[in-house]
Amino acid sequence: MADRRVTGERASRGAPATEERNEAGTRPMGDVLVSARGLEVHFPVRSGGALRRTTGVLRAVDGVDLDIRRGETLGLVGESGCGKSTLGNALLRLVEPTGGTVTFDGTDVTGLDRRAMRALRRRAGMVFQDPFASLDPRRTVRQTVSEPLEVHGLRSGRRERAARVAELLELVGLDPAVADRYPHEFSGGQRQRVGIARALAGEPDFLVCDEAIASLDVSVQAQVLNLLRRLQRRLGLTLLFISHDLSAVRHVSDRIAVMYLGRVVEVGPAAAVGSDPKMPYTQALLSAVPVPHPSLERTRQRIVLRGDVPSPANVPSGCRFRTRCPYAFEPCPDVDPALQPVGAPGQLAACHLHGVVGRPVEREEAVPAPAD
């Protein structure tokens, strides 16, 4: 049976794409598919010894407001330990949020029971960082890719499942003849393609790619990035692309969100955030990206941040970036800056250098429609 998604029919399932366009004006942008409001994932910090008393709170995700629009790729970038993987997991409830809400296609998923959650998980897949660790070495590619089909009851007969596995392998650029091989017989890039085929087996609308290229060679990274872009357009997927590699994020994303110490500190169209960032932290991240031009690379000004990233168990008061910010001034230790519109349409930054100190942002302002 032909995959209706491959023909593009399923791309329009749910609410239709609006007339809004991404920042390049090349692709229709949909309504909001996934939304987080005040999302928190806090873990107790326990002392050693027999009593294991709770001595503090580790704020891995600490009050995130974020919208992901149907059909877009949102790049989520930040240093290791900033909470971006935890946020991706919390959106799928692979870790339980301790506060706030996550809405998927209009349904608040934070209150769903296991059965309802399983039905919803079919519509949301995950591609993991390490394709070797995420694939069971004792299972063939066929068994690995067909497992979600069995779990979600998508193909009842063996022959139907085998045909669907072959279709999925072709979709990710693998020869269906490899279906009976084991993960150790593949290169890293091929294993990641198997992981993507498995993630697509449930016919998801939403895919979280968590550092999906981080463990691959540079040449293979480009292939996998291009594959993800092709799949997204062909299947009408909504992607959350999580990476510490800002150049990769710029390459694939329609919009970029920047995380620091459990909080989104800047978000906006990829072109705006990539060329004119408003938050000093984003500016520092961008200054570290090499420029692929010899003379420009020689003159590149690197912003070197002082000190280390504070512990998420000991978040600074006021602006959480203030201990490393070269522009920190009088209100920064006392007032936690809210995301507010700055620069280009749809660009928001949490920094007192822009706008009124401490002024909260209304929801309509926080998620403005991209310009036509």
Binding residues vs ligand SF4 (CB under 6 A): 279-280, 319, 321-322, 325, 327-328, 332, 337, 351-353
* 108 beta partners: 103
> CB atoms < 10 A from the CB of 108, how many?
12
- Pick the closer one to ligand SF4 by CB: 11 or 279: 279
Q: CB 327 → ligand SF4: shortest distance, Å?
A: 4
Q: CB 230 → ligand SF4: shortest distance, Å?
A: 37
- Pick the closer one to ligand SF4 by CB: 78 or 280: 280
Q: CB 325 → ligand SF4: shortest distance, Å?
A: 3
Q: CB 312 → ligand SF4: shortest distance, Å?
A: 17
Question: Which H or E run includes 196?
Answer: helix 188-200
Q: CB 80 → ligand SF4: shortest distance, Å?
A: 20
Task: Please state, in angstroms and rounded to a whole number, the distance separating the CA atoms of residues 227 and 273.
Answer: 24
- Pick the closer one to ligand SF4 by CB: 83 or 280: 280
- Pick the closer one to ligand SF4 by CB: 188 or 331: 331
Q: CB 263 → ligand SF4: shortest distance, Å?
A: 11
Residue 315 carries which DSSP code? P
- Pick the closer one to ligand SF4 by CB: 243 or 282: 282
- The tokens describing 114, both together, are 């296991």
Choose among 36, 95, 86: nearest CA to 60: 86
- Pick the closer one to ligand SF4 by CB: 263 or 322: 322
- Pick the closer one to ligand SF4 by CB: 206 or 321: 321
Task: Name the 3-class secondary structure at 163.
Answer: helix
Q: CB 343 → ligand SF4: shortest distance, Å?
A: 14
Task: Please state, in angstroms and rounded to a whole number, the distance separating the CA atoms of residues 29 and 19.
Answer: 7
Choose among 46, 15, 48, 50: nearest CA to 29: 15
- Pick the closer one to ligand SF4 by CB: 225 or 319: 319
Task: Please state, in angstroms and rounded to a whole number, the distance separating the CA atoms of residues 219 and 79.
Answer: 23
Question: Which H or E run includes 54?
Answer: strand 54-69
Backbone angles phi, psi at 349, to 5 degrees: -140, 150
Choose among 242, 252, 224: nearest CA to 77: 242
Q: CB 195 → ligand SF4: shortest distance, Å?
A: 37
Burial class (CB in 10 A: 0-12, 13-18, 19+), 90: buried
At CB < 8 A and 24+ separation, what contacts does 12-21 make?
12/236, 13/205, 13/236, 14/70, 14/105, 14/205, 15/70, 17/70, 17/71, 19/372, 20/369, 20/370, 20/372, 21/370, 21/371, 21/372
Q: CB 316 → ligand SF4: shortest distance, Å?
A: 9
- Pick the closer one to ligand SF4 by CB: 121 or 322: 322
